[in-house]
Chain A
Amino acid sequence: MTDQEALFEYLLRLGDSTLILGHRISEWCGHAPVLEEDIALANTALDLIGQTQMWLGLAAEVEGAGRSADELAMLRDVWDFRNLLLVEQPNGDFGQTMMRQCLFDAFHIELLTALSQSDDNRIAGISAKALKEVTYHLDRSSETVIGLGDGTEESHRRMQAALDLLWPYVGEMVTPDAVDTAMHAAGIAPDLTALRARFDTRIDAILTDATLVKPDSTYAQTGGKTGFRHSEHLGHLLTQMQWLQRAYPGAAW
């Protein structure tokens, strides 16, 4: 894999993760438990889709094959997506959605903080911008996880179940593979092992406040960011997200 190819892969990881999570959260639009949460979820989705436009726009530029950000988002199939497995997991109940969000936000904020110091100015610029938005995302998701975890018996039970369900998807975010290592060596991306320590500190503090118990297991599901094996959920998501462009190619408004 050349440096250019590794950079393209890396940018797809960033853009596909924000795209798929943005789409997942948008599925709540009109369905959230209260109006304020509905609006907050839609706003968060909007931020993530906006960040996707920047990441996939840069990916398209780096690829240099004449594809646009829209084409990357709407015309690739499951095996070409490089998003983290965590973000493609179904919404479940509101608590499960917010647990997924909090785990991702705690990682995302550390990643963007580091990437805003990237040697690649384009990546640093996008990250500095996204970081401001993600700071608000984490504020909200961590407050909600704490509120529900340290809430009623029922809400606590559900949040612990959500944590147990989603924990196996955390490892993939913070465990480096060949692409991550190449990007770190090139001065573009941070050392994920060092980032994991900062992520752990952050998430441990939130879970303690939420009176939730972090699972003992270090077992990690992998295959999302490499594209080797996505869960069955991604294909179903794409059939909805890409439907319009597949049914009416090139449709615009």
Chain B
Amino acid sequence: MIPDVATIWTWLDQVPDPEIPVISVVDLGIVRDVAWHGDTLEVAVTPTYSGCPATSVIAMDIETALYDRGVRNVRIRTQIAPAWTTDWLSDTGRAKLLAYGIAPPSPAGGPEACPQCGGTALTRISQFGSTPCKAHWRCDTCLEPFDYFKCI
């Protein structure tokens, strides 16, 4: 029996992002479409950053997860346009990031509050952090450094 698309989405929602494993690839908003073409399942995935090394790992993780559920013919299609935006990060994803210690993206261009203590006196250390999607900030209240998931 061929699993329906809604079921596939719930499976994909259990595939963790390789670099920030607390959120799923669905939370991240990079799975753009899931559709059956005959007996082949096509999953459209959009890269976060052009050179993000996680992109190929994500494709492999998705294929493996679906294979484990019995889906044998999977095609990953890379979809560049429209370009990924942090607006596609789900509300669940944002909450999980915050609980994990990463400040979620904010339209203001910087974090709203320190994910550790909630302090709002914050200093940007660098616009470029440990992965392409994050910037490096410091809380002036608790003095802890933290990652900010930057807007793009």
Contact = CB atoms under 8 A, between A and B. Distances in A.
Interface stretch (A123-131, A151-159, A220-228): A123-131
Given A51-B51, A129-B50, A121 B130 contact: no
A53 B50 contact: yes
22 contacts: A36-B126, A39-B129, A39-B130, A40-B126, A40-B127, A43-B132, A44-B128, A47-B49, A47-B51, A47-B132, A49-B51, A50-B47, A50-B49, A53-B50, A54-B50, A54-B80, A125-B81, A128-B82, A129-B50, A130-B50, A136-B150, A139-B127
A-B residue pairs, 8 tightest by C-beta: A50-B51, A50-B50, A125-B81, A40-B128, A46-B51, A129-B83, A36-B126, A43-B128
A43 to B, nearest CB: 4
Given A125-B80, A125-B81, A132-B83, A51 B50 contact: yes
Contacts of B52: 46, 50
B105 to A, nearest CB: 12
Contacts of B85: 132
Interface in A43-100: 43-51, 53-54
B146 to A, nearest CB: 14
Interface string A30-47: 000000110110011111
Contact of A46 (B53, B127, B129, B136): B53
Interface string B70-88: 0000000000111111000
A36 B50 contact: no
A132 B152 contact: yes
A140 B50 contact: no
A136 B83 contact: no
Contacts of A46: 49, 51-53, 132
Contacts of A140: 127-128
Nearest to B84: A129
Contact of A124 (B51, B81, B125, B136): B81
Max count, chain A CB within 10 A of own CB: residue among B50, B53, B82, B84: B50
Given A43-B128, A130-B50, A136-B127, A36 B136 contact: yes
A110 interface: no
Interface residues of B, number: 22
B127 A128 contact: no
Contacts of A49: 51
B108 to A, nearest CB: 15
Contacts of A53: 50-51
A133 B81 contact: no
A49 B50 CA distance: 8
A47 B81 contact: no
Interface in B115-147: 125-130, 132, 136
Interface in B19-73: 47, 49-53
B51 to A, nearest CB: 3
A241 B53 CA distance: 18
Contacts of B51: 45-51, 53
A188 B53 CA distance: 30
A194 B136 CA distance: 37
B126 A133 contact: no
A125 B83 contact: yes
B52 to A, nearest CB: 7
Contacts of A37: 126
Contact of B81 (A121, A132, A136): A121
A133 B152 contact: yes
A54 B152 CA distance: 19
Given A39-B128, A128-B82, 20 more contacts: A36-B126, A39-B126, A39-B129, A39-B130, A40-B126, A40-B127, A47-B50, A49-B51, A50-B49, A51-B50, A54-B80, A124-B81, A126-B80, A128-B83, A129-B80, A129-B83, A129-B84, A133-B152, A136-B152, A139-B127
